[in-house]
Amino acid sequence: MRGKITVVGSYNTGFLVYVDRLPVEGETLPGYGFRIEHGGKGSNQAIQAARLGCDTAIIARVGSDMFGDRAVGKWAAENVGGGYVVRDAEKPTGAGLVIVGPQGRNIIVVDLGANMRLSKNDVEKAFPRLSNSDVVLAQLEIPLETALHALRGSEAVSILNPAPAPMINPSQLEGVKIITPNEVEILTMAGYKPSQSSEIVRVAERYARYVEHVIVTLGERGALVVGGGRRIHVKTPQIRAVDSTGAGDAFNGALAAFLARGYDLLDAVEMACCAGAFLAARVKRGELVEALARAGELEKFIAEQSHTLGHVGERTPSR
């Protein structure tokens, strides 16, 4: 089963330069290693799903500029359908400016540009595609109301990756089947501080009253799946992480892919953890997106790591 996925999300061009130390206000420093990258959570996740063999399309808004041209060209090269991409005549393609210093410390400035003009009307024009999708996946580098409109617009398995996370009342998410925050995002959504990690399970259970499943990604510790009266910890391969940047996008794109192909939820989460670990274990020579797994690579990785996988769980107390 190939599976049909529609991603409703962002594209950002990344401009990276490396420096020996980070600059202070008003200072000009020599840099090196400048490059321009494809990015944006929506684009990354769509490319991951397409690389795993799914019929994937993206609903997005980019500028009528050269960077919008680059986005459209990249999606075509990755077999991501771009028939519902809007070219904005007023706002530029989203961009991120990244200065990387020693030990990976960085300064980042992001202008989401055309992404923040992706509208309900743009989504409605794509309803024929949404209504025939197995999975619809959205993130929050676009307006929340646009993401929710798309996720509630079909009978597909709907996944919201609430990143970056605003405060969200649990009742706002009614009608969404799955949310996939990380540990910081689940707390931010509920108005807690990142240091209040002891509250993660309780907060996840609160959101699970309105969505079918809350999947909290835990980095090298795997993922916590809460919903249906269960609390399950899904393991991830024990690898030596080189660079975890983008692992969340790999996870979400793979989760959508395996669910679209008919996998059981827990098995799909396990495979998605493997996709995230695969990316984190790779040395990223050049663009992050090039480190996303292709189907054959992930199958080999999973076979090699199968002895480290599994999941354990318990019933959650009735309330």
Question: Which among 204, 215, 225, 217 is positioned nearest to 244, based on CA atoms?
Answer: 217
pLDDT the model gives residue 248:
94
With a CB cutoff of 8 Å and minimum separation 6, the contacts of 198 are none
pLDDT means over runs of 10, the chain (319 residues): 92 94 93 94 98 98 98 98 97 94 84 97 96 97 98 93 96 97 96 93 97 96 94 89 88 98 96 94 81 95 76 50
Asked if 249 is an active-site residue, the reply is yes
Q: Go through the domains of the chain in sequence order and give each one's CATH number.
A: 4-315 (3.40.1190.20)
Query: With the CA atoms of 101, 107, 113 and 115 taken in that order, what torsion angle do they form, in degrees rounded to the nearest 10?
Result: 80
Tell me the whole-structure pTM to 2 decimals: 0.92
pLDDT the model gives residue 191:
96
Q: How far apart are CA 252 and CA 259, in angstroms?
A: 11
Q: How far apart are CA 319 and CA 316, in angstroms?
A: 9
pLDDT the model gives residue 187:
97
Residue among 55, 65, 249, 264 flagged as catalytic: 249
